[in-house]
Structure 1
């Protein structure tokens, strides 16, 4: 009985800890002339905060996709003085078709 109560308590505390570190999926893009060091610095900030870089973009756009704690997103936006980051929610985009 005590084991079950302890197990439930641990599960509850883990759920609270997970909820406290809410994350979101984002895409961060930069102007084409942005040095790689600026992008690497932004990725390092996300990783240090417990986020994960899910994809790096190098051909069509300069930037990356990540799952990052919500609290760190504004920090990434504020990093670039000369090279401003555009941070967007990573989401599915669809085109609604019409028939005539």
Structure 2
């Protein structure tokens, strides 16, 4: 799973393009964020590079965050 977020200054349509790229590659959007422009998705490993090459978005592995 990965978190995909729109970079500052990028056109919001780029996020829609990223969602389409995920689903076109056989992935699934599992959560859409409301406070930030982004989403969490499950997609095949071989499609990660295609998403990471998009200069308008950031792709990060989803992980658990804890506070102390």
Deviation at 1:63, TM superposition (A): 1.2
| TM-score normalised by structure 1 residue count | 0.60
Aligned length: 68
Give the Cα–Cα distance (whole angstroms) in 1 for the partners of residues 33 and 8 of structure 2.
11
Gap runs ≥5 in structure 2: none
2:23 maps to which residue? 47
Deviation at 1:62, TM superposition (A): 1.4
| TM-score normalised by structure 2 residue count | 0.82
- Highest Rg: 1 or 2? 1
Write 1 or 2 for the structure with the bigger share of helix: 1
3-state SS of the aligned residue for 2:59? strand
Gap runs ≥5 in structure 1: 1-24
| Bigger relative CO (Cα 8 Å, ≥ 6 apart) | 2
Give the Cα–Cα distance (whole angstroms) in 1 for the partners of residues 38 and 21 of structure 2.
14
